[in-house]
Each structure stands twice: as structure tokens, then as C-alpha cells.
Amino acid sequence: MSEMDYWYGCIERVCVVDEGKDSGQPKIWIYVRWYYRAEDVKWYDTSIANRMKRRELLDSDECDYIHFASIDGMVKVAYVDENMATYDETEDREDPASRLFTRFDLEVKIVQDEGRRPRAVGVTLRGASECACDGCPDRAYDDEYEQRYCDRCERWMHLRCLARVAEKLKSELIHALFEATCDDKELLRCITKPIARGGVHKTFGNGNEAMKVSDAWKCLKRGEDVRGWDEDVNTYALWPEAEEALYYRCPNCKQHWV
């Protein structure tokens, strides 16, 4: 069986009806909240299923009692907060898409016809971050397309929407914000890279690395010694290396650059 052939659920409660001391047959029921795989959600909404990554699970509100003997094992599911730029890396410093992870909630509509088991008839996705740009044609995140992050607003927006609605900022202007304080060329290069995900930046983007660089920058501004700032930073994630990035003024706060 492959990893995605299993059903996954979060254990909410363990109900011991009979420990089985006398009978030798314990009766233990487990109350679980189901995760939906792309495989499960495709029957209700293919547009959600098509956007899901291979190891992605949706945290549904559908609960059920299952017999304890039907549990095969325990796994870790990484939770990703869609409204943040950062995420928990796996132990080998991969992004969460390299293991089981969940980032959206799923509301499941259940009906129960007389004398029959309750069944799901529809689903609604909750908790997806929505592009902050006016007139965005498709607010959901599709990791084929680049998004930028405003640290002040804690929101993501499509690069293609920014190009349409936001004020474009010259790279000299962005560099000027840092140049006077920073004579470390590589730090200057990294701090002037926008926080991005999708496209070449992959599903979870460069947020973790960008935030480490931002911390180094804050230290530098306070006059602290930041030598060795890049020891723990994968500067390659702050892509593209040589090319100038396109910068925009965040259309939501109209203050930060993205």
C-alpha cells in the first residue's frame, strides 16, 4: 500500500467501553476527525482536488467513531498557517510538501436519510488565504503562479495581480532603503528579494529564508555584529540570484514594498 492509500484522521477522543479484562476482547472506539485526500475531495469538487499537492490533506469537520483495531499506525501531519510567510521545515530542512501536511479546513455537508448512515453531499474550503488585490480573477492560491507576501498585512497576492493594480517601484528605490546601513553585498542582495511563493519558488516559497535575512538586517540596524548571518540561511532560495526582482507597493497597506 502506498502512503496515500490510507485514510488519515486526527484522534479527538478515545472511548473505552470495555477494557476486555474478563472477556479478552476490549471494546475501544476512537472518535476521529477525518482528513480528506485529493482522492476523496475530487468527488465533490475537482477544482480543489486538482490544486492539492501529492501529500496534502484537508482538515475536515467530519467526525466518526472507528474501532481501535482499524488503526494501522500514527503519522505526523504538518500544519501550515496560510497567512504566514514562514512554515515548519521537516527534519531534513525540506518544506512541508515533502511529507503529509495540511493548510486548509474543509466544511463537509452531511445528510442523513431515514434508516441510512449519514453521508457527505458537498464540501466548502475554508481558511485559504485570498489575494489582496482588487478584481483578482481567482483568489485562491495555485502554486503554478508566483505570489508575493506583505509582512505588514500578513497577506499574499498574485504577482500577475500586482502587475495590474499596484504601483511599480524602481529597484534603486528599494536598494536605497538598505544601502546606507549595509556594506555586505550578499546581505544587501538577499534583503532586497521579495518574499515569494509559487512558480520557481515552489509551494511554500522563500519565506523562512527571507525572515532569517530580515532578522539579520534588524540586528545590523541596531548596530550589532552580523558576521556569519548566512550560516543558517539557504541564500539560494532567495532567487533569482543575479536578476533584479520586480517590486510593487502593497495595494493593501500602500506602505510596504512586495
Chain residues binding Zn ion by CB under 5 A are: 131, 133, 136, 150, 152-153, 158, 161, 250, 252-253, 256
For residues 77 and 84, which CB has a smaller minimum distance to Zn ion in the complex? 84
For residues 107 and 130, which CB has a smaller minimum distance to Zn ion in the complex? 130
Are 177 and 185 contacting, i.e. CB atoms less than 8 angstroms apart?
Answer: no
For residues 47 and 234, which CB has a smaller minimum distance to Zn ion in the complex? 47
SS3 of residue 112 by DSSP = coil
Q: Which of 238, 254, 242, 85 is nearest to 169 (CA)?
A: 254
For residues 164 and 189, which CB has a smaller minimum distance to Zn ion in the complex? 164
> In Å, what is the CA distance from 32 to each residue of 68, 77, 138, 223?
11, 14, 33, 52
Query: What's the CA gap between 247 and 251, in Å, rounded?
Result: 12
Cα 182 from chain centroid?
32
Shortest reach from residue 208's CB to Zn ion, in Å: 20
Shortest reach from residue 7's CB to Zn ion, in Å: 34
Shortest reach from residue 158's CB to Zn ion, in Å: 3
Q: Which of 147, 142, 128 is nearest to 250 (CA)?
A: 147
Shortest reach from residue 48's CB to Zn ion, in Å: 18
